[in-house]
Structure 1
Amino acid sequence: MMQVFLLLLASAAFASAQAEPWCRCAAFVTYEHTEIMVYEAPEIAIETCDAAGADDCKAGCVAELTAASDNGDLWHITDDGQTVGQYICSYLADHRFFSIYNHRVYGYYEVCGGAWQYADLLSQQMLCCVSGKHEHCVSAQKSSS
């Protein structure tokens, strides 16, 4: 009988832990057939997983991503002395994406494990990476994002 009680107690604790609301924020580069997460912000605290929680998540993500990039500026210098764009280009090169031309970086948020949703946030400039180095985009090529 005691084992059944402990099993029920453990099940209730597991269900309670999974019901904890949480919010993820990230920046993505979009390609024709895929999205690549290039930055994940710290988790945002929210109270619920409903529409109000989603609104709080989106607002928190917009604030976090805007602050991290000075309102989507890929040429913003980060605390470690590199540009936001260089951070992204280095990340992409580490994942074998060496050349990227004319792509926007988009902000997304995820509520309680649901689908990623667009946060109405995008980079001010197009992202161009040449051999993992952040470069100014000099051509007027059409973006495939």
Structure 2
Amino acid sequence: MTPEQMAMIDEIPAYFRSEKLETEAVYFREPGGMGFGLETVAVFLLGSIALGVTYDVIKAAATAAIDWARDRVRRHQQDLRADDSGSSGRDSDDSADPPVRVTIYGPNGAMLRAIEVSRSGVDDPFGQHFDTDRR
């Protein structure tokens, strides 16, 4: 894991706190294996909400995950442009659009959301459609 990846992973709890949620654990998996992604992260919500995982809690968790993933994708694109600016005038590969995958689990270990965010949009098959131009 690169220092930049470590820093981004360390930022995830702050995104959840901004939605008034606490995370119990965040797990990162190096990309590779079955398909490619920029990052793959599992987030476990804190057990203090065990009294009930309401729609509002799930929506807040999805919002936090999407906001973090969008920032991660944005930084990746900026890094690509910065790397290419020092090269032989070649533009960044705009066709590269690796996703960031975030899976959110509730206090009992049940999967609440599986979200995939890329530069081209958000795939949140278990939730509502999120505006891809929010930020």
Q: Normalising by structure 1, report the TM-score.
A: 0.34
Larger radius of gyration: 1
Q: Normalising by structure 2, report the TM-score.
A: 0.35
